[in-house]
Amino acid sequence: MLIASFIDAMLAISGFRVVGIAGSGPEALVLAAETRPALALVDIRLNGPPDGAELACLLRNRLAIPAIFTLGPVDREILRRANAAQPLGFIAKPFSPSTTVALLI
Domains and CATH numbers, the chain: 2-15+24-104 (3.40.50.2300)
- Whether the Cβ atoms of residue 58 and residue 50 lie closer than 8 Å to each other: yes
Is pLDDT at 105 greater than 50 in this prediction?
Answer: no
**Chain segment 13-41, per-residue pLDDT in tens:** 888 889 988 889 999 999 999 999 999 99
Mean pLDDT of 55-61: 95
Per the model's pLDDT, the better-predicted residue between 105 and 1 turns out to be 1
CA distance 34 to 72: 29
At 97, the pLDDT band (50, 70, 90 cuts) reads low
